[in-house]
């Protein structure tokens, strides 16, 4: 049953081939048996999951069930879950049990989804390798000596290892698309504001966006349908019509105009990755699409701009974790200042501390104009690059990550090298555009991701383009050798 896609599980539940309780128990057993190898889960909610599955079976029997009713999924441990620990991968929130659900969680609960647990992640979503988690690194099912990508590495590894058919995730600078690429699965980051951020623990508020990780674009459409909603509780959520994401998955691609940014195929791109992406482009041409080279001239400024803006916002968002109201508190503080210093010093990991310091510096008097304001001006130029390109083409294609999965510790001593892992994904977040990664080949037995970038609120078009590729190729069906 673990090799079934979400669409196949929905059909199996309709046909009564199995019950929600049966398939839920199957996945719970796999997680308990196999996840000691991958460390993709922080919390397993077995009792709650079986109760939700029983309730879903009752809804299915009554004929009053939404599409995802009874389907087992998992949440990245950045989404608040009522009564279930929400750690954000940090010692700071190791003891935090929210009294409410994030809007994303509420949406899935209302649709009868079964939640198996909370997946591991880089601490406060800060990382590109899932090595910064307080709960230890997640291992890539394709090669357990390699990282799964980050920050949503737990969700990506769990889907790739067939421990769960789909999972929620978040993307601030590539944290859905990069781990999806490294783990050989499908990941989509919607337009900024398409999905409510309420109850999603903030890293960088103008960049964070929730999305999904699945094995296929068809499954991504089903998950996004439940996830997307307008939410008055989130001032950044956009009141924009929600498409039927499954309706046009099979629409033909004849006449589709694809832009290939020349900046994405220069120095630093692994030759094997480039070859796989070029082969994918040929597949699209065979389906009737036309291809043209385009330019995103400010691409080289995306990483430096991002690593001013994101740390600045993180330093503000994480100031609430002070040892006073909730979260980690140091033992026997001698005064308030000691409480603040030791609680934050003990509760945060090294990467989080680094970004808080960088962000606080960028926002400080005398440096705000030189760094933060300038980064925001560059952000506007990056957004205009995309606006100009989308006046010529329908979608932008390129590599998701410069190279396949790398070994643990290989970039840990050089933060800049780690930051450059997101060089092709960061600009999409700065512009607020939707993006996807789908498998398009392998290099030395490790997956390669193809990135699709769409215009604002063009998620349905991206899903169509991804699905059509997956009807012509089998990269999305391939599993790590150890997965049975």
Q: Rounded distance, CA 75 to CA 104, Å?
A: 9
Confirm whether 76 is a catalytic residue: yes
Q: Rounded distance, CA 446 to CA 270, Å?
A: 12
Set 90, 133, 175, 196: catalytic member:
175
Judging by beta carbons within 10 Å of its beta carbon (0-12, 13-18, 19+), is residue 437 exposed, middle or buried?
Answer: buried
Confirm whether 151 is a catalytic residue: yes
Set 76, 118, 461, 468: catalytic member:
76
Set 90, 129, 151, 155: catalytic member:
151
Handedness of CA 200, 204, 207, 212 (dihedral sign): negative
Query: 66 and 112 in contact (C-beta within 8 Å)?
Result: yes
Q: Rounded distance, CA 143 to CA 127, Å?
A: 19
Q: How many CB atoms sit inside 10 A of residue 308's CB?
A: 24
Q: What is the DSSP letter of 291?
A: E
| Residue from 270, 289, 273 nearest 281 by CA | 289
Burial call 72-101: b when 16+ CB within 10 Å, e when fewer: bbbbbbbbbbeebbbbbbbbbbbebebeeb
Query: 260 and 292 in contact (C-beta within 8 Å)?
Result: yes
Confirm whether 91 is a catalytic residue: no
Active centre residues (catalytic) = 76, 151, 175
């Amino acid at each position: 049953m673990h090799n079934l896609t979400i669409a196949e599980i929905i059909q199996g539940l309709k046909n009564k081939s199995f019950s929600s309780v049966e398939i839920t128990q199957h996945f719970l057993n796999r997680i308990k048996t196999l996840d000691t190898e991958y460390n993709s889960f922080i919390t397993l909610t077995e009792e709650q999951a079986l109760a939700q599955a029983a309730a879903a079976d009752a809804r299915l029997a009554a004929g009053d069930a939404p599409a995802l009713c009874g389907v087992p999924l998992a949440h990245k441990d950045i989404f608040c879950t009522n009564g279930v620990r929400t750690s954000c991968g940090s010692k700071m929130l190791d003891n935090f049990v929210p009294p409410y659900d994030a809007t994303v969680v509420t949406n899935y609960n209302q649709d009868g989804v079964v939640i198996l647990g909370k997946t591991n992640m880089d601490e406060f979503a800060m990382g590109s390798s899932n090595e910064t988690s307080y709960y230890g690194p997640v291992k890539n099912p394709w090669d357990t000596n390699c990282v799964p990508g980050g920050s949503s590495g737990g969700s990506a590894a769990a889907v790739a290892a067939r421990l769960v058919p789909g999972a929620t995730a978040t993307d601030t600078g590539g944290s859905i698309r990069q781990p999806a690429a490294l783990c050989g699965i499908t990941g989509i980051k919607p337009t900024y504001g398409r999905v409510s951020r309420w109850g999603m623990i903030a890293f960088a508020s103008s960049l964070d966006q929730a999305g999904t990780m699945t094995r296929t674009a068809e499954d991504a459409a089903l998950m996004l349908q439940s996830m997307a909603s307008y939410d008055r509780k989130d001032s950044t959520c956009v009141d924009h019509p929600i498409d039927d994401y499954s309706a046009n998955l099979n629409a033909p691609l004849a006449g589709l105009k694809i832009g290939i940014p020349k900046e994405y195929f220069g120095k630093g791109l692994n030759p094997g990755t480039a070859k796989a992406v070029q082969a994918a482009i040929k597949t699209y041409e065979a389906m009737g699409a036309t291809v043209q080279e385009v330019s995103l001239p400010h691409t080289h400024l995306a990483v430096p701009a991002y690593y001013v803006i994101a740390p600045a916002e993180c330093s503000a968002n994480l100031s609430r974790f002070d040892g006073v109201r909730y979260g980690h508190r140091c033992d026997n503080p001698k005064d308030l200042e000691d409480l603040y210093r030791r609680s934050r010093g003990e509760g945060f990991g090294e990467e989080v501390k680094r970004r808080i310091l960088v962000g606080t510096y960028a926002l400080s008097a005398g440096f705000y104009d030189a760094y933060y304001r300038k980064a925001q001006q560059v952000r506007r130029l990056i957004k205009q690059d995309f606006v100009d390109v989308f006046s010529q083409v329908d979608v932008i294609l390129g590599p998701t990550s410069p190279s396949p999965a790398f070994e643990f510790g290989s970039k840990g001593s050089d933060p800049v090298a780690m930051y450059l892992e997101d060089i092709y994904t960061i600009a999409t977040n700065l512009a607020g555009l939707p993006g996807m990664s789908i498998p398009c080949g392998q290099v030395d037995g490790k997956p390669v991701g193809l990135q699709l970038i769409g215009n604002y609120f063009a998620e349905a078009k991206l899903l169509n383009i991804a699905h059509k590729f997956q009807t012509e190729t089998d990269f999305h069906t391939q599993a790590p050798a150890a997965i049975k």
